[in-house]
Structure 1
Amino acid sequence: MTCYTRWVYHGRPASGPPQPGETTPKPRAKATRIIPAFCGHGHRLNAANLRYTPAGVRYCRACRYVTEKTYTERRFTYRHQGHDVIPTRDGRRYCRTCTRGDHDVDEMVVERTASGDRPARVTAAELETAVVQLRLYGLTYELIAARTGCSLRHAWWICERNGLTQQRGAGRGLSREQQAA
């Protein structure tokens, strides 16, 4: 019996399809490769740490984790360069500039908010800028809250976060002993 597919594979030679046994046998499978005990960075390659790609290439899971983490850190640093970045409780970094929208403050919205004509859409950064601006003018929290359309507590909180609050008696020239009396 002849093999038609091999005859087609070889370009349909005029001699016809090869007779059984005339073709070379399939190459034998390569010898199994021994998996090393450790990766190049010293991590143990056991069942929990050794993984394979869909193409069959093995890799160290710990090395992949380190590589992805450094890549993510580099990308975060590049994207938030010059921003107000603070650490969170779990150790991650948090960009307050992007969250509040500090990089995209519209000065006209700030001026309208500070004058008492608050637009329908005001970002947190624009509201904060208007509150700080009014506090620096010397207005009280009640007036700031009335002009900007936020609550009294929110106006105070923004000023507290930016270091614009004063304790009672501070700024009047009284020492702590005089304030206590």
Structure 2
Amino acid sequence: MSDRSRRRTIVCACCGQTAAHRGQGYCVACYTRWVYHGRPTSGAPKPGETPRKPPAKSTRVIPAFCQHGHRLAAKNLRFSPAGVRYCRACRYEAERAYADRQFAKRHKDHDVIPTIDGRRYCRTCNRGEHDIDDMAIDRTASGDRPDRVTAAELEAAVIQLRLYGLTYELIAARTGCSLRHAWSICKDNGLTRPRKERAA
């Protein structure tokens, strides 16, 4: 049961309507209007007699620098939809730090290398080394390559066939990759012989 439903019904001394009593012989609306205008001794003003009070003008002083030392110029000063002032450089640094923490958490104990443009590249995730299917490696090495094979699975199959003594042509034919790709995988893993040893 609400508070207004428990009030007794009266004839308002201000507007003359029958409504719930709030105080001083006024209804809730008239009593609220009377308090809003400072409780004048002449009583509550009639509805529509007095204009609304103008909103108070607050003098907003914008500092020259933020708390981290960034200059709050036109390009760096921003306001949220709620009217809250914020520094664009500080928000960019906070978002960058959050992204760095998420990247470190997601790629913990992975092989992360820097790129030419300064970004970070996780070779473990891009090569699929965090999720290797042994069945896919065996099928690729036996010549029955699945429809989807990650780079790490293909590399493992090529290395396995090379350790068996197969030539690059046979490895490429079984795994379904090119001859140059099979040779480059073996070269990166130290399974190729120098030209002098082959000549000998």
TM over 0.5: yes
User: Number of residues paired by the alignment?
Assistant: 167
Q: 1:15 aligns with which of 11, 22, 26?
A: 26
1:82-123 CA distance string (max 9 Å, x none):
112121111101112211211111101101211222223322
Gaps of 5+ in 1: 175-181
Q: 1:148 aligns with which of 156, 175, 191?
A: 175
Distance 1:167 1:136, change over 3 A: same
1:16-65 CA distance string (max 9 Å, x none):
53324998x74742431211110111110110101111111111111111
| CA displacement at 1:14 relative to structure 2 | 4.3
Counterpart of 2:45 in structure 1: which amino acid? Q
1:121-173 CA distance string (max 9 Å, x none):
3222211111122223332211211221211011112223333333212488x
Distance 1:11 1:153, change over 3 A: farther
Q: 1:91 aligns with which of 97, 114, 118?
A: 118
| TM-score, length basis structure 1 | 0.78
Hey, which of these two has a bigger chunk of strand by percent? 2
Say which structure, 1 or 2, has more relative contact order (CA 8 Å, 6+ apart).
1
* SS of residue paired to 2:96: helix
| TM-score, length basis structure 2 | 0.71
**Does 1:137 find its partner at 2:182?**
no
Counterpart CA distance in 1 for 2:89 and 2:137 is: 49
Distance 1:105 1:45, change over 3 A: same
Counterpart CA distance in 2 for 1:82 and 1:156 is: 29
Hey, which of these two has a bigger chunk of helix by percent? 1
Counterpart CA distance in 2 for 1:107 and 1:98 is: 17
Distance 1:27 1:140, change over 3 A: same
Match of 2:9?
none
Gaps of 5+ in 2: 1-13, 31-43
Counterpart CA distance in 2 for 1:65 and 1:157 is: 41
Percent identical among aligned pairs is: 68
* SS of residue paired to 1:39: coil
- State how 1:11-160 maps to structure 2 within 5 Å: 14-16=25-27, 17=30, 18-20=44-46, 26=53, 28-160=55-187
User: Which protein has the larger Cα radius of gyration, Structure 1 or Structure 2?
Assistant: 2
